[in-house]
Chain A
Amino acid sequence: MTTISYREAVREGIRAALAQDDRVFIMGEDIGEYGGCYAVTMGLLEEFGPERVRDTPLSESAFVGAGIGAALGGMLPIVEIMTVNFSLLALDQIVNTAAALQHMSGGQFNVPLVIRMTTGAGRQLAAQHSHSFDGWYAHIPGIRVVAPATVTDARWMMPTALADPDPVLIFEHGGLYNASGDLEDIGPVDLDHAAVRREGGDVTLITYGGTLPTAMSAADTLAADGIEAEVIDLRTLRPLDDATFVDSVRRTHRAVVVDEGWRSGSISAEVSARIMEQAFYELDAPVGRVAGKEVPTPYARHMEQAAIPGVDDVVAGVRAAMRGE
Chain B
Amino acid sequence: MNERELLRQMLRVRRFEERCVELYTQTKVRGFLHVYIGEEAVATGVMAALNDDDSVVATYREHGHALLRGMSARSVMAEMYGKLTGCSRGRGGSMHLFDKDLNFYGGNAIVGGGLPTAVGLALADKMQKRDRVTVCFFGEGAMAEGEFHESMNLAELWQLPVLFVCENNLYAMGTALRRSESETNLPMKAASYEMPAWSVDGMDVLAVADSARRAVDAVRGGGGPHFLEARTYRFRAHSMFDPERYRDKAEVEQWRERDPIDLLLAKLEVPDDELAALEEEIRVEVEDAVDFAENSPDEDVADLMTFVYSPSSTVAGRLS
Contact = CB atoms under 8 A, between A and B. Distances in A.
A70 B120 contact: yes
Contacts, number: 160
The size bracket of the interface on B is 35 or more
A265 to B, nearest CB: 15
Nearest to A167: B309
Nearest to A51: B127
A61 B154 contact: no
Nearest to B119: A66
Contact of B146 (A54, A61, A67, A72): A61
A210 B116 CA distance: 32
B105 A93 contact: no
Contact of B98 (A69, A105, A142, A166): A105
B110 A74 contact: no
Interface stretch (B27-35, B36-44, B86-94, B239-247): B86-94
Interface stretch (B61-69, B254-262, B287-295, B312-320): B312-320
B280 interface: no
Nearest to A107: B307
Interface in A153-201: 164-166, 191-192
Interface string B133-146: 01000000000001
A56 B118 CA distance: 16
B113 A73 contact: no
Contacts of A240: 320
Given A61-B147, A106-B87, A67 B308 contact: no
A212 interface: no
Interface stretch (A95-103, A246-254, A281-289, A317-325): A95-103
B307 A102 contact: yes
Interface residues of A, number: 46
B308 A73 contact: no
Interface string B143-173: 0001100110110011000000000000000
B121 A62 contact: no
Given A70-B127, A192-B314, A62 B307 contact: no
B175 interface: no
B119 A65 contact: yes
Contacts of A73: 55, 120-121, 123-125, 128
Interface in B65-108: 86-92, 96, 98-100, 105, 107-108
B122 interface: yes
A250 B113 CA distance: 46
A104 interface: yes
The 7 tightest CB contacts between A and B, nearest first, are A69-B120, A65-B116, A73-B124, A62-B150, A106-B89, A59-B150, A106-B88
Interface of B: 55, 86-92, 96, 98-100, 105, 107-108, 110, 113, 115-125, 127-128, 134, 146-147, 150-151, 153-154, 157-158, 306-315, 318-320
